[in-house]
């Protein structure tokens, strides 16, 4: 499950590129099926985000995207690093976003904390 926070001013086509880039990274690195996309995309404007423009000493531009990926805690550190690399690479290629334009957070939890009907 992925939650993307994108600027309200970001065009729909670019939002779609971000969404597809994140999903492709999940498919390529963690084996998520192509039809296994489940994302919540929230558009924010300057009235509902509080962030220093130079958070952690890096200037953040108007296209800043926050990506939170919820996963079961069954992934190795190598898999998690590969996922983050793939997300950064895909968003640079597909949406023109630099590393300074994104923050990625993996939220891990035990399988006991999940429920979803599956076949």
Question: How large is the average pLDDT for residues 3-11?
Answer: 96
Question: How large is the average pLDDT for residues 68-92?
Answer: 95
Domains of the chain, start order: 2-113 (3.30.429.10)
Sequence-distant (≥ 6) Cβ neighbours of residue 60 within 8 angstroms: 51, 52, 53, 54, 100, 101
Whether 99 has a pLDDT exceeding 80, the answer reads yes
* Cα gap 101→89, rounded to integer Å: 12
Condensed to tens digits (0 to 9), the pLDDT of residues 18-73 reads: 999 999 999 999 999 888 889 999 999 888 887 888 888 888 888 899 999 999 88
Pick the closest to residue 41 from 72, 14, 59, 61 (CA basis).
Answer: 14
């Amino acid at each position: 499950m992925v939650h993307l926070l994108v600027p309200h001013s970001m065009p729909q086509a670019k939002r779609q590129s971000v969404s597809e880039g994140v999903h492709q990274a999940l498919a390529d690195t963690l084996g998520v099926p192509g039809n296994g996309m489940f994302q919540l995309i929230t558009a924010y404007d300057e009235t509902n985000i509080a962030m220093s423009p130079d958070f952690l000493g890096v200037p953040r531009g108007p296209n800043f995207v926050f990506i939170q990926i919820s996963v079961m805690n069954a992934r190795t550190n190598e898999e998690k690093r590969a996922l983050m690399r793939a997300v950064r690479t895909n968003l640079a290629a597909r949406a023109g976003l630099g590393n300074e334009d994104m923050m990625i957070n993996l939220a891990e939890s035990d399988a006991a904390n999940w429920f979803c009907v599956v076949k």
